[in-house]
Structure 1
Amino acid sequence: MRVFWAKGYENTSMTDLIDAMGIASPSLYAAFGSKDGLFHEAVSLYAAEQGCDIWESLEREPGIEAAISAFLETTARTYSTEGQPQGCMIVLGARPGPQGESAVADDLRVRRCNSANLLRQRFARALEDGQLPPTCNPDSLGTYFASVQHGMSILARDGADYETLRTVARLGVQSLSAIINSK
């Protein structure tokens, strides 16, 4: 998982994987079938073990502004944790391409869409609860904040530290605050 996370699917060689796992090539193929199969398992492990706090923080706070603040703050902290690859494997794990061109890219695209849908659903609940002006579009807000989070992942991979990511998080919350206060 860490090799794919650090290098991405395309830049990870079979030698990298064999060395990291300490097994012979035939054993890798017997266990996973292919590099694609191993990548899929690695992404599933990543999704189960990494970044869970990010999505839990989105639900922990009843108010939408506090929920998004916690979401972006946890994203900043998680994406800049020392001792692990920086950023998000689901965002950075493979080059995006046309739909259907690559099973690996398609899997990550679906996972990113599912994450954006969690944000859209959270904004829809906030709209129903009267926490957002009636003119707000939950789909647009979910897409926007998914984009902010994806951008934070790229910044982290490019070397941005926690404070830089936290500044991005704060600006995101300020933009939401401006929307909320436009009621």
Structure 2
Amino acid sequence: MNRVATQVLPVSIAAPAIHTGRYKFEWHYWHVVADGQGIYYPVSTEFTVPSMSQRGRPRAFDRDTALQAAMRVFWERGYEQASLSELTAAMGINRPSLYAAFGDKAQLFQEAMALYQRTMNFTTPALARPAARAAIEAMLRDNVDAYCDPTTPRGCLVVSIAAACPDDDSEMKTMLSSKLRTVGESVRQRLKQGVEAGELPADTDIGALAAYFETVLQGLSIQARTGASRQRLHRVVDCAMRVWDSLSGEPQKRPARQRSA
């Protein structure tokens, strides 16, 4: 009777794992060699649950693009009216990804607001013009053109949301009011420079005049938001600049603009 040469290899191998979404199953075998032929005998199975870092991993996305989409939703809908469903749909992400990347809705809005101020700030470069009158006029006209740009929502995001902000949301109202006051202070400083340069009388009430132009600027945003045409808003700017001319005593001839309602 011939003996059968048998060798048991002291190693264990795992068959390809089966994933069922949340769980993973593995089968382990002994490799037994008999007369040169390999035979696998199952000896154990393993059952594992993937770690949190391995499952539910959010889909990769472009954060900047998602933030731009969120900014547009807030701009169009307002803060209170913009739902998480609308935001995530526009951003192309799910809620866990939104929370992981931006925190909560309020934090997302703050980032969207910062993006708006970086990319849609026409006031600062306008006020940097060398002549004070030209600077104030450019601030008004450049913002009118931006408020009526057909490729973006109408009006100013900050002004629109501040106007609709409920009184009981003190934190939001404080933040928006602070941003609007910053614009007003920039206008005041530019008018002060105009007085110092002799472009306005020395006794000009700088605070009142700054508040006037700030009010005109915010009113232009609200008018644009409610559908006023670009031509109509530029006519409002024509009137606002006559106030400057009445103070300076040097009326400026402005190029005629197309009249339309």
The answer for the alignment partner of 2:99 in structure 1 is 29
Q: TM-score by structure 1 length?
A: 0.92
2:197 to 129, 136, 139: 129
2:137 to 69, 92, 104: 69
- Counterpart of 2:146 in structure 1 is 78
Which structure has the higher relative contact order (CA within 8 Å, separation 6+)?
Answer: 1
Please say if 1:163 is aligned against 2:231: yes
Q: Which residue of 2 aligns with 1:54?
A: 123
After superposition, what is the alpha-carbon deviation per residue over 1:24-80, rounded to whole angstroms, capped at 9, x for unaligned? Answer: 111111222211100000000000001x233211212x2222221111111111111
Matches within 5 A, 1:6-21: 6-21=76-91
Structure number with larger C-alpha Rg: 2
| Structure 2 match to 1:38 | 108
Identity between Structure 1 and Structure 2 (%): 36
2:204 counterpart letter in structure 1: C
The correspondence for 2:188, drawn from 112, 120, 132, is 120
| Cα deviation digits, residues 113-145 of structure 1 (max 9, x gap) | 000100000001111112111221212111111
Q: Which has the higher helix share?
A: 1
Residue 171 of structure 1: SS of its match in structure 2? Answer: helix
Runs (5+) with no aligned partner, structure 1:
none
Instruction: Write the distance in 2 (CA, Å) between the matches of 1:66 and 1:168.
Output: 16
Shift of 1:89: 0.5
Asked if 2 retains the 8 angstrom alpha-carbon contact of 1:2 and 1:85, the reply is yes
CA contact (8 A) 1:39 1:104 kept: no
Distance in 1, matches of 2:170 and 2:136, equals 32
Contact preservation (8 Å) 1:57, 1:70: yes
Bigger shift: residues 28-37 or 119-128: 28-37
* Amino acid of the structure 2 residue aligned with 1:130: G
Q: Does 1:89 align with 2:157?
A: yes
Which portions of structure 1, spanning 4 or more consecutive aligned residues, are displaced by more than 6 angstroms? none
Number of residue equivalences: 179
Q: Distance in 1 between matches of 2:240 and 2:208?
A: 14
Q: Return the structure number with greater strand share.
A: 2
Letter in 2 for 1:24: N
Task: Name the stretch that deviates more: 88-97 or 154-163.
Answer: 88-97
**1:35 partner letter:** K
Out of 138-147 and 34-43, give the one that drifted further.
138-147
In 1, the alpha carbon distance for the partners of 2:169 and 2:230 equals 35
Q: What is residue 152 of structure 1 aligned with on the other side?
A: 220
